[in-house]
Structure formats: C-alpha cells, structure tokens
Amino acid sequence: MARVRVQQEPFDAGREIAELTRGRRDVGAVATFVGMVRDANEGAAVSRMSLEHYPGMTERALEEICAEAAGRWDLLDVRVVHRVGPLEPGDAIVLVAVASAHRGDAFAACEFIMDYLKTRAPFWKKELTPGGERWVEARSSDDEAASRWSGGGRG
C-alpha cells in the first residue's frame, strides 16, 4: 500500500497528494507533514546541510514503519518522500502524506510515522555552521516522542 521514495530532487507536496488520492472516492481525509531545513540549530546558524543514508535499509525501514501504522489505524494509502544529499535552509526535506476515511486516523498515523522515522530510519544530517561542519546529534526528545506510541493499539 505505502509508497516510499528516497531522492535528491525536490518534491512537490501538492502533486504527491494528488497522486495519493487520484481516482479514489473513499478518501475522507489526507493529513500531511512537511519537514523543512531550519537556518539555526543548537544555537548556531546553519547555512547548508547534507543528508546521508543507508541505501536499501532506508527504504525497508520506511516501508516497515508505514506497515506498522497501517496495522494500528484504518489507512487507505501512505506516501513518504525523504530527500538526501545537499540541502539549504528553507528546503523541504521530508513529506509524509496519509489518506484515510476519517481525519482521526490520518492525523495520528502521520504523527506516528514521523516519530518513528526520526528514530528508526537510517538518515544522518551534517550541517555547516560558522564553526565548520558538524554531524547533528540525535535528540532524546525524539526517542521520547517515539516511545509515546509503544503503549500500543489504537487511540
């Protein structure tokens, strides 16, 4: 059901949503999340960023996250697009779009997929600051966000 892509090129969120819902009459809700590159992180200005990933495992991990979401909520389709390579502040970096009959399932699944993506999908950010290049450190708040869902079940 879910379609995931990892790509260097920019994506068009409107086109992704249109493709997600094309020809369907059963979709009542589409929830989307778009993550952007910020111009500051951990107290330093960020002028550029590059994203590395683990080809093969990345796609598999994203598909498994989507499958887990589909097991928890009633979803009609899911799309995840994540960019890699060089990025600049203001660039869109990730899109999650979830189609369902009702908004509750779409909202919850969209947030779940992002929380799990942040802690389970093998991407790594390196940012350029006035002090030079640095790898972004993982945040404990991301682990806490993901662990909210481990109580299990719908709801």
Partner 1 sequence: MVTLLYFASLRERLDCAREEIALPAGTPTVGGVVETLRARDGRWSDAFAPGRAWRVAVNQRMADLATPLKPGDEVAFFPPVTGG
Question: Which parts of this chain interact with partner 1 (CB under 8 A)?
Answer: 35, 51-54, 56-57, 60-61, 82, 93-94, 114, 117-126, 135-138
Closest to partner 1 by CB, 1 vs 138, is 138
Residue 120 and residue 28: Cα distance in Å, rounded?
29
In the bound complex, what is the minimum distance in angstroms from residue 142's beta carbon to partner 1? 8
Residue 79 and residue 81: Cα distance in Å, rounded?
7
Percentage helix, strand, coil for the chain under 3-state DSSP, each rounded to 5: 35, 35, 30
In the bound complex, what is the minimum distance in angstroms from residue 21's beta carbon to partner 1? 24
Closest to partner 1 by CB, 18 vs 124, is 124
Q: Which two tokens stand for residue 151?
A: 């109580």
CA atoms within 13 A on the CB side of 48: 8
Closest to partner 1 by CB, 11 vs 76, is 11
Residue 50 and residue 28: Cα distance in Å, rounded?
37
In the bound complex, what is the minimum distance in angstroms from residue 152's beta carbon to partner 1? 19
Closest to partner 1 by CB, 104 vs 122, is 122
In the bound complex, what is the minimum distance in angstroms from residue 22's beta carbon to partner 1? 27
In the bound complex, what is the minimum distance in angstroms from residue 114's beta carbon to partner 1? 6
- Asked whether 73 and 153 are in contact (CB, 8 A), the reply is no
Q: Which two tokens stand for residue 99?
A: 């189609």
Sheet strands side by side (includes 77-83): 3-7, 77-83, 92-100, 29-36
Closest to partner 1 by CB, 27 vs 68, is 68
